[in-house]
Amino acid sequence: MAKDPLSHLSRLSAVRSDKNIKFLTPAVYSGGWCPMRVVCNICEGIEGLSYLMVGMPECTTHSRGVNSGPVGEKGELYWLYVLDEKEVIFGARNGVIDALRKMDAEGARAIMMIATCVTDLIGEDFDSIIAEVGPELSAKLSYVTMGQFKNFASPIGTWKTAQALGDFMERKDTVSGTANLMFIEPRHQANSPIEYPLIVGALERRGIKLRKMASGLTLDELMDAPSAALNVVTTAYTQPLAAKMQQKFGIPYAPLHNSFSVEQVDRSYRMIEDILGIDLSGEYELWRKKAVELEERARKELRGIRYVMMTGVDMPVALAAYLAEFGMQPLLIDVQDFHQEDAGYAAILKEKGFDPPVCHIMHRDHDILIIRDLHPDICFGYISEPMEGLKVAEEMGDFFGITGYERTVGILSRIFDVLETGKMGERLDIYGPVPL
Amino acid sequence: MGLYRFKPMPSGRMGIFWTLSSIRESAVVEFGCMGHNLYSGALLRQSGIYEGYGAPLYTTYIDETDIAMGQTYRLESTIRQVVDTDHPKVIFLQPSAVPEVIGMDMFAIANVLQEDYPEVKLVPLGHGSFAISQHKGVEEALTGIAKALCRDTGKSEKPLFNVIGSCPDLFNFGADLLEIERMMKGAFGMETLCAFSSRCSVSDIERMGESHVNLVIRREGIACAKYLEKRFGTPWIYGRPYGIKATTAWLSEVGEAIGLEPDRSFTDSEEKLLADQIYRPYRTLQSNAWSYPEEATLTIGGHYDVVKGIMTFATKELPLKKGTCWCDCPEMGDETIPYYPEDKWVPVVENHEKGYLMFSGEALKWFGKNTELQIANPDIRYRLHPYDAPLVGYHGAVHIVNMFMNEYLRTH
């Protein structure tokens, strides 16, 4: 009898951190996104924020894209500190401090230090570096530790960076009628427009001043963020920053990122209305109506539908918890990084009778053969080549940062399209008419 | 190493990895964190080592527990999967930085695992420590692979040659290799046995001893050539042919090594064609050099052999003067071509005003200089095909003159 290819995997209920999530098959082809690159991307998206990457030639070389350089458009410094053979043993403290002094002298206003694998391994103490050199510098300092051996991939890199950005904030008086839209993303491409959820337009039409904490944010805006009356969380990556700001500055947050059902969206929108003193009625009637209609259909048709979550699905455990409402059965979930909130979704799934194995898919072309043999009715996420008999809802990244009824409509429509035709329908245009 | 504003000098591990990446019939398994493998793969694809071209690049990942306990099961199970699915003839094993720090002994691990896989050869590499550069890594890879894979053999009946040192880390490697091959065919009717390592297979490497001559086109290949000479008695010559006369001289040197005269009808026709092609441009450069000598200066940085070759061509065969020149490797620098770290080359490039400046695409672009004069990496463009104009050989000579002329036009 053939060995069960999933037998080595942990069940979701047993997972408490990334450590329990095993590879579906051992060979990694060809590598996975290292979180240090994500930090660079995010920092480069914030006007006025400099960074100092501390690591080996591998990290520092690859932290640079093909065309990026050492100075940003507004004079931000993107510098690299490379450890030599002695510093690998004795630490790079003095060299890093010298580098910070030089950056400060060249006018850096705020510097994010990015520690990588070897600096994490040798235990370089960035807290004490900040304690030693911070008082003499004009630049504000913060750091993130991104050693991949304990930070598996880009999600953890993103939320840890977002959280570290909170170090640049100071308490401010609350300005009523203002909110932070928390939309920090790991891979925003310069010059591509950001697709914000419909709540953004709705709030702006009601005179709410929104500080968009996304690519293009300025350092001054970031430092002013504690003056907002509310944080509107649109991605799971920013929830830890929102939680930190709640704890540090008492700013409440509306969790739109994990509000998948109509009922959850209703609740989140009511929270926004209450805190900001506005009325959102009339804004999304058609989207809401369509979402209600699709949820009713889902309750009738999706029970017992077996699925696999592959790579490239945003918040896979949260989504699985939502799909469990309709009785959809997860066979296997790729969890790139276990988020703090995922334990709660795992409990919801267990309560509904689902406790799927979880894994990291690290060799997509190889692992798809194992997934095919599980005979799922539908798969979510990336696939290199179409495979006969396998229905795949690809491009689930379309829903990154999209919230509200429009996301509910988008996800459920895609599921029905793929189940019916084997293919995705049109890409969801949230600014266009509500799909029939 | 210290503080850098631009991409730093790559490590020995990176040099090794890039050298292995293009070898067909093999697989590379890197033990450690995954980022280097992913990003190097992207960089290699940018340079033309596309998916399916050479070795599939695998890694294992390593977590805190593996580090604390010295566990190697990820490496063992990855090798098992690669053997089962890819059936490579050879698996190259390399540690990434973290296993290197904690002292994982890849040679010992490979020795132990080899017994389980008689059908595949495990070749550990990459004990380059943290003190060596990309260039020494390339040298270690070329020599180590040759020692591990070359089989005892006699010389081929048909005269064949190896090119040693055509590796993906060197700017324009694909086009330069094609020009070397074109000239060897034209001058001697010889074909390539092994283009080591940018376009070869394990089988090609195994047969390297059959070659009648080894052409070492960068100094990192000298140790490998010496090893092959000792083991197979194969003569070798070292040098990169830049310029017209220098290329003819290089072909003569090759001829001496193999006891054949280059086909003079080939070399004469090439020289005649080039002389015709560059006659007017030469006069323009010469006239400009006479009137404005400060404009007829070549400032150049990059790989030692490239810098030396182009500078010699520019000053001996063209009417240019030697400006500042430097190489990108501390182990290679000397009085003629010193090694310049970043803080020495930045002011040279930044303040360059008159004359011709050849260097990396990254630096030329950043300082607003003419990127058409790129002769070194880091690159700033994709090089998906190898059919760009070469810099070496006869075709390279006319291309370099073309570059100078376009720069002359741009600045006048």
Convert the pLDDT of each residue in B84-94 to its tens digit: 999 999 999 99
pLDDT attached to residue B354: 94
Give yes or no: residues A217 and A300 share one domain: no
Residue B406: pLDDT band by 50, 70, 90 thresholds?
very high
Q: From CA A141, how far away is CA A133, in angstroms rounded?
A: 9
Give yes or no: residues A140 and A196 share one domain: no
State the smallest CA–CA distance between residue B372 and chain A in angstroms. 15
Our count of domains for chain B comes to 3
pLDDT attached to residue B154: 94
| B75 contacts B59 by C-beta, under 8 angstroms | no
Q: Is residue B153 part of a domain?
A: no
State whether residue A99 sits within 8 Å of chain B by CB: yes
Between B20 and A425, the more confident residue is B20
Inter-chain touch A58–B35, beta carbons under 8 Å: yes
User: Which residues on chain A are in Cβ contact (under 8 Å) with B93?
Assistant: none
Q: From CA A46, how far away is CA A231, in angstroms rounded?
A: 18
State whether residue A85 sits within 8 Å of chain B by CB: yes
Grouping H, G, I as helix, E, B as strand and the rest as coil, residue B9 is: coil
pLDDT digits 0-9 by tens, B116-132? 999 999 999 975 567 78
How far, CA to CA in Å, does B161 sit from each of B194, B262, B305? Answer: 7, 14, 21
Give yes or no: residues A209 and A223 share one domain: yes
User: Which residues on chain B are in Cβ contact (under 8 Å) with A147?
Assistant: 33
Our count of domains for chain A comes to 3
Q: From CA B134, how far away is CA B9, in angstroms rounded?
A: 7
pLDDT digits 0-9 by tens, A11-40? 999 999 888 999 999 999 987 888 998 999
Q: Of the candidates A29, A62, A83, which has its C-beta nearest B39's C-beta?
A: A62
pLDDT attached to residue B55: 96
Give the chain B residue whose CA is nearest to the CA of A78. B5
Maximum Cα–Cα distance across chain B: 73
Q: List the beta bridge partners of residue A230.
A: A179
Q: Is residue A311 part of a domain?
A: yes
Preceding omega of A384 cis (within 30 degrees of 0) = no
Give yes or no: residues B401 and B282 share one domain: yes
* Residue A355: Cβ within 10 Å count: 14
Range of A298's domain? 12-30+288-421
Q: Is residue A128 part of a domain?
A: yes
**Which positions 5-44 of A are in contact with B (Cβ < 8 Å)?**
19, 23, 25-34, 36-37
Q: Which of A118, A135, A152 is the last residue of a domain?
A: A152
State whether residue B59 sits within 8 Å of chain A by CB: yes
CA atoms B36, B42, B45, B51: torsion sign: positive
Q: What tokens appear for B286 in the block?
A: 């010469």
Q: Of the candidates A31, A102, A122, which has its C-beta nearest B34's C-beta?
A: A31
State the smallest CA–CA distance between residue B283 and chain A in angstroms. 37
Average pLDDT of the residues in B4-12: 94
CA atoms within 13 A on the CB side of A249: 26
Give yes or no: residues A259 and A354 share one domain: no
Give the chain A residue whose CA is nearest to the CA of B67. A149
Give yes or no: residues B404 and B350 share one domain: yes
Grouping H, G, I as helix, E, B as strand and the rest as coil, residue B119 is: coil
Give yes or no: residues A340 and A304 share one domain: yes
Give yes or no: residues B314 and B288 share one domain: yes
State whether residue B37 sits within 8 Å of chain A by CB: yes
State the smallest CA–CA distance between residue A53 and chain B in angstroms. 10
Give yes or no: residues B233 and B270 share one domain: no
pLDDT digits 0-9 by tens, B11-54? 999 999 999 999 999 999 999 989 888 889 988 999 999 888 99
State whether residue A58 sits within 8 Å of chain B by CB: yes
Q: Which of A19, A25, A30, A93 is the best mutation test for B, with the most CBs of B within 10 A?
A: A30
Give yes or no: residues B254 and B286 share one domain: no
Give yes or no: residues B253 and B274 share one domain: no
Average pLDDT of the residues in B194-208: 98
In our burial notation (b when 16+ CB lie closer than 10 A, e otherwise), range A135-163 reads eebebbbbbbbbbbbbbbbbbbbbbbbbb
* Residue B189: Cβ within 10 Å count: 12
Q: Is residue B270 part of a domain?
A: yes
Give the chain B residue whose CA is nearest to the CA of A88. B101
Q: Is residue A160 part of a domain?
A: no
pLDDT digits 0-9 by tens, A217-260? 999 999 999 999 999 999 999 999 999 999 999 999 999 999 99
**Which positions 314-343 of A are in contact with B (Cβ < 8 Å)?**
none
pLDDT attached to residue B382: 92
Give yes or no: residues A409 and A346 share one domain: yes
Give yes or no: residues A22 and A104 share one domain: no
Q: Is residue B323 part of a domain?
A: yes
Average pLDDT of the residues in B164-181: 97
CA atoms A248, A254, A257, A263: torsion sign: positive
Q: Which of A243, A276, A309 is the last residue of a domain?
A: A276
Q: Is residue A130 part of a domain?
A: yes
Residue A190: pLDDT band by 50, 70, 90 thresholds?
low
Give yes or no: residues B248 and B270 share one domain: no
Inter-chain touch A28–B56, beta carbons under 8 Å: no
Residue A186: pLDDT band by 50, 70, 90 thresholds?
confident
Give yes or no: residues B173 and B281 share one domain: no
Give yes or no: residues A330 and A363 share one domain: yes
State whether residue A359 sits within 8 Å of chain B by CB: no
- Which positions ≥6 away from B27 have C-beta within 8 Å? B55, B56, B57, B58, B82, B86, B88, B90, B91, B92
pLDDT digits 0-9 by tens, A128-161? 999 999 999 999 999 999 999 999 998 999 999 9
pLDDT attached to residue A189: 66
- Matching residue, tokens 């980022």: B35
Q: Is residue A162 part of a domain?
A: no
Q: Is residue B170 part of a domain?
A: yes
pLDDT digits 0-9 by tens, A287-323? 999 999 999 999 999 999 999 999 999 999 999 999 9
Q: Of the candidates B3, B8, B35, which has its C-beta nearest A57's C-beta?
A: B8
Q: Which of A236, A253, A276 is the last residue of a domain?
A: A276
User: Which residues on chain A are in Cβ contact (under 8 Å) with B57?
Assistant: 29-31
Give yes or no: residues B280 and B243 share one domain: no
Count Cβ–Cβ pairs < 8 Å, chain A vs chain B. 173
Inter-chain touch A149–B98, beta carbons under 8 Å: yes
CA atoms A167, A172, A174, A180: torsion sign: negative
Q: Which of B112, B131, B150 is the last residue of a domain?
A: B131
Q: Of the candidates A33, A150, A366, which has its C-beta nearest B64's C-beta?
A: A150
Residue B175: pLDDT band by 50, 70, 90 thresholds?
very high
Give yes or no: residues B74 and B46 share one domain: yes
Q: Is residue B83 part of a domain?
A: yes
Q: What's the distance, Cα to Cα, between the start and end of chain B in Å?
A: 40
State whether residue B13 sits within 8 Å of chain A by CB: yes
**Which positions 67-106 of B are in contact with A (Cβ < 8 Å)?**
67, 74, 77-78, 80-82, 85, 96-98, 101-102
Residue A434: pLDDT band by 50, 70, 90 thresholds?
confident
Give the chain A residue whose CA is nearest to the CA of B130. A85
User: Which residues on chain A are in Cβ contact (under 8 Å) with B4?
Assistant: 60, 79-82
pLDDT digits 0-9 by tens, A108-124? 999 999 999 999 999 99
pLDDT digits 0-9 by tens, A42-61? 999 999 999 999 999 999 99
Give yes or no: residues A208 and A120 share one domain: no
Q: From CA A292, how far away is CA A263, in angstroms rounded?
A: 9
pLDDT attached to residue B127: 59
Tell me which DSSP letter residue B315 carries.
I
State whether residue B56 sits within 8 Å of chain A by CB: yes
In our burial notation (b when 16+ CB lie closer than 10 A, e otherwise), range A54-84 reads bbbbbbbbbbbeeebbbebeeebbbbbbbbe
pLDDT attached to residue B132: 85
Give the chain A residue whose CA is nearest to the CA of B46. A66
Give yes or no: residues A366 and A306 share one domain: yes
State whether residue A67 sits within 8 Å of chain B by CB: yes
Average pLDDT of the residues in B255-279: 97
- Matching residue, tokens 């308490």: A171
Range of B102's domain? 12-131
Would the pTM of this model clear 0.90, i.e. be above it? yes
* Residue A429: Cβ within 10 Å count: 11
pLDDT digits 0-9 by tens, B292-348? 999 999 999 999 999 999 999 999 999 999 999 999 999 999 999 999 999 999 999
Preceding omega of B378 cis (within 30 degrees of 0) = yes
State the smallest CA–CA distance between residue A237 and chain B in angstroms. 21
Give yes or no: residues A249 and A334 share one domain: no
Q: Of the candidates A23, A70, A118, which has its C-beta nearest B97's C-beta?
A: A118
Q: From CA A199, how far away is CA A279, in angstroms rounded?
A: 12
State the smallest CA–CA distance between residue B302 and chain A in angstroms. 17
Q: Is residue A431 part of a domain?
A: no
pLDDT attached to residue A432: 87
Question: Which CATH number covers residue A240?
Answer: 3.40.50.1980
Q: From CA B127, how far away is CA B107, in angstroms rounded?
A: 9
Mean pLDDT estimate for chain A: 94
Give the per-residue SS3 of chain A. CCCCCCCCCCEHHHCCCHHHCEECCCCEECCCCCHHHHHHHHHHCCECEEEEEEECHHHHHHCCCCCCCCECCCCCEEEEEECCCCHHHHCCHHHHHHHHHHHHHCCCCEEEEEECHHHHHCCCCHHHHHHHHHHHCCCEEEEEECCCCCCCCHHHHHHHHHHHHHHHCCCCCCCCCEEEEECCCCCCCCCCCCCCCHHHHHHHHCCCEEEEECCCCEHHHHHHHHHCCEEEECCHHHHHHHHHHHHHHCCCEEECCCCCCHHHHHHHHHHHHHHHCCCCCCCCHHHHHHHHHHHHHHHHHCCCCEEEECCCCCCHHHHHHHHHCCCCEEEEEECCCCCCCHHHHHHHHHHCCCCCEEEECCCHHHHHHHHHCCCCCEEECCCCCCCCCCCEECCHHHHCCCCHHHHHHHHHHHHHHHHHHCCCCCCCCCCCCCCC
Average pLDDT of the residues in B107-116: 94
Helices (H), B201-303: 202-206, 222-232, 244-258, 264-291
**Which positions 108-137 of A are in contact with B (Cβ < 8 Å)?**
117-118, 121-122
Inter-chain touch A60–B7, beta carbons under 8 Å: yes
Inter-chain touch A30–B56, beta carbons under 8 Å: yes
Residue A67: pLDDT band by 50, 70, 90 thresholds?
low
Q: Which of B34, B40, B169, B369 is the best mutation test for A, with the most CBs of A within 10 A?
A: B34
Q: Of the candidates A36, A66, A121, which has its C-beta nearest B67's C-beta?
A: A121
Give yes or no: residues B317 and B383 share one domain: yes
State whether residue A79 sits within 8 Å of chain B by CB: yes
Q: Which of B110, B131, B152 is the last residue of a domain?
A: B131
Inter-chain touch B81–A26, beta carbons under 8 Å: yes
Give yes or no: residues B192 and B307 share one domain: no
CA atoms within 13 A on the CB side of B386: 19
| A271 contacts A220 by C-beta, under 8 angstroms | no
Give yes or no: residues A59 and A130 share one domain: yes
Question: Which CATH number covers residue B246?
Answer: 3.40.50.1980
Q: Is residue A72 part of a domain?
A: yes
Average pLDDT of the residues in A376-380: 98
User: Which residues on chain A are in Cβ contact (under 8 Å) with B77?
Assistant: 26-27
Q: Is residue A361 part of a domain?
A: yes
Q: Which of B228, B262, B296 is the last residue of a domain?
A: B262
